[in-house]
Structure 1
Amino acid sequence: MDTQQEVATLAGGCFWCLEAVFRQLHGVSKVVSGFIGGQLTDPSYKQVCGGMTGHAEAVQVTFDPNVIAFGDLLEVFFASHNPTTLNRQGNDIGTQYRSGVFYHSDAQRMTAEQFIAGLNARGEWPDPVVTEVTPASRFYPAENYHQDYFANNTRQPYCQLVVLPKVLKVRQRFAKKVSAG
């Protein structure tokens, strides 16, 4: 029996963090770091970091909805970054670090909108969620050295100080959703 795969595209600051977080989940078969939502065709990391292309650093997550639902991905996503800071995640500042759900279907749009409304209604964050929910446009994979960045650079200071705590938080909080290894 063939497994139906779906795609989710999420932006929440540095894509190295999100890629490492989502790679560890049951039902996720592929995570690609890249850029979405800008005006420039096939942008480079340097161009996007300059903040003038309109792109967000994002990950494109391929997953099996029979193993992990889109709503479960959102639960992990919103626990992995601060969705209340406009165009900022920690020391990363600019529109390229905005929080966004780039939906691929009406069902994803509705799920994201309902999820955000629930977060705000429950007061899960001290400030309102500013995550944009917009249709997915063309996704551009980042350069090869950005793919599997955390796995290939675990001793790098940024990975130790910023990425690893997010990975560990997800492993602890969502232990039943995390693959062994």
Structure 2
Amino acid sequence: MEIATFGNGCFWCTEAIFQDLKGVSKVVSGYMGGKTKDPTYKEVCSGTTGHAEVLQITYDPSEITYDELLEVFWKTHDPTTLNQQGNDRGTQYRSVVFYHDEEQRKTAADYMTQLDTSGAWSNPIVTEITPVDTFYPAEDYHQEYFNQNGSQPYCNFVIRPKVDKFRKVFKDKLKK
């Protein structure tokens, strides 16, 4: 098993996507990239810790590759908005790939360069590609948030449309 760590907006939304992928055995919402040791959600949301909301994804590379995870990462958020995804604003919502080894760094950087030069977006990509740092799991009530709270208004109006779109686009990569 291998690990990928991505920050691409609210972890409630992104966790609901990555946990549906074949080959992904575990997705943990958490925080990375800041200066505060063992931060709380409230501290991270204040924007003063420097942490991003991230997902730590455990996957089987014989079933899904890092490249495929990057494809989902790039296609399920806007990597051109600095410190923002939709209505969520702040450094905790920045687009970031935390790489675990040189191969992940190179793969993410090459993918980003290809996308940037392709004109896939009208604005330049601002995604950070940075070495992995200490991962702090988010509080228990953040884990599997969409699965446990799918009927709440935020889930219905914000997360569900993203998940539905993802499931249509990536139907060949979903768990059965």
| Same fold flag (TM > 0.5) | yes
Which ranges of structure 2 fall in alignment gaps of 5 or more residues?
A: none
1:109 aligned to which of 97, 105, 110: 105
Is residue 2:67 matched to residue 1:49?
no
1:156 aligned to which of 134, 152, 157: 152
Q: Which runs of 4+ in 1 moved over 6 A?
A: none
> In the alignment, residue 19 of structure 2 is paired with which amino acid?
R
Offset of residue 59 of structure 1 = 0.4
Is residue 2:172 matched to residue 1:176?
yes
Q: Secondary structure of the residue that 1:113 maps to in structure 2?
A: helix
* CA RMSD of superposed structures (Å): 0.6
Alignment of 1:17-166 (within 5 A): 17-166=13-162
> In the alignment, residue 11 of structure 1 is paired with which amino acid?
G
Q: Note the alpha carbon deviations across 1:53-91, whole angstroms, 9 max, x for none.
A: 000000000000111000100101111111000000111
Q: Secondary structure of the residue that 2:98 maps to in structure 1?
A: strand
> In the alignment, residue 118 of structure 2 is paired with which amino acid?
R
> In the alignment, residue 29 of structure 1 is paired with which amino acid?
S
Q: Note the alpha carbon deviations across 1:25-79, whole angstroms, 9 max, x for none.
A: 0000000000000000100000000000000000000000111000100101111
Paired with 1:115 and 1:168, the residues of 2 have a C-alpha distance of 25
> In the alignment, residue 26 of structure 1 is paired with which amino acid?
K
TM-score (norm 1): 0.96
Which ranges of structure 1 fall in alignment gaps of 5 or more residues?
A: none
Identity %: 57
Offset of residue 121 of structure 1 = 1.3
Offset of residue 14 of structure 1 = 0.3
Offset of residue 157 of structure 1 = 1.3
Paired with 1:6 and 1:83, the residues of 2 have a C-alpha distance of 24
Aligned residues: 176
Paired with 2:5 and 2:168, the residues of 1 have a C-alpha distance of 24
Q: Secondary structure of the residue that 2:154 maps to in structure 1?
A: helix
